[in-house]
Amino acid sequence: MIAGIGIDIIEVERIARAIERYGEHFLRRIYTDVEREYCDRAPATRVLHYAARFAAKEAFSKAIGTGMTNGFRFRECGVINAPTGMPMLVLSGDLAERWAGYRLHLSLSHTQHYAAACVVIETR
């Protein structure tokens, strides 16, 4: 049974401006170490990957019904890639505890100008 659905689209330039303005402080506050390592591997697509991961976090926050308030912590919601390349949400802390009994599905897409994410939360 579907427990939640969230979708988000973001302008890649918005993330580029945040990185330019706030640098490492922004990246450390929003992204997990694993996400930063992944995104920084390919400088040419770095901002696209950061934008897609930001959209994933926002889509998840919508799927759980809180938005980015009410105790939502960006770094407790991370994106990793399976060996096949499929993106997956990985939760930690309070989010992991609260959503442990659910299956999380994530789809990401991006163009030069936009990144989008869709999250579906399913009961087991």
Neighbours of 11 (CB within 10 A): 12
Domain ranges of the chain: 2-123
Distances (CA, A) of 109 to 19, 24, 50, 79: 20, 24, 12, 13
What value does the mean pLDDT of the chain take?
Answer: 96
62 catalytic residue (yes or no): yes
The dihedral sign for the CA sequence 109, 49, 61, 16: negative
- How far apart CA 77 and CA 54 sit, in angstroms, is 10
Q: Decide if pLDDT at 76 tops 90.
A: yes
Q: Which of 25, 49, 110, 113 is catalytic?
A: 110
**Predicted local confidence at residue 111, as pLDDT:** 96
Given a cut of 80, is residue 60 above it in pLDDT?
yes
pLDDT at position 71 over 80: no
* Whether domain 2-123 has CATH 3.40.50.970: no
Residue 49 falls in the annotated catalytic set: no
Q: Which of 25, 49, 57, 62 is catalytic?
A: 62
Confidence grade of residue 72 (pLDDT, cut at 50, 70, 90): confident
Instruction: Please state, in angstroms and rounded to a whole number, the distance separating the CA atoms of residues 85 and 124.
Output: 24
Which pTM was predicted? 0.95
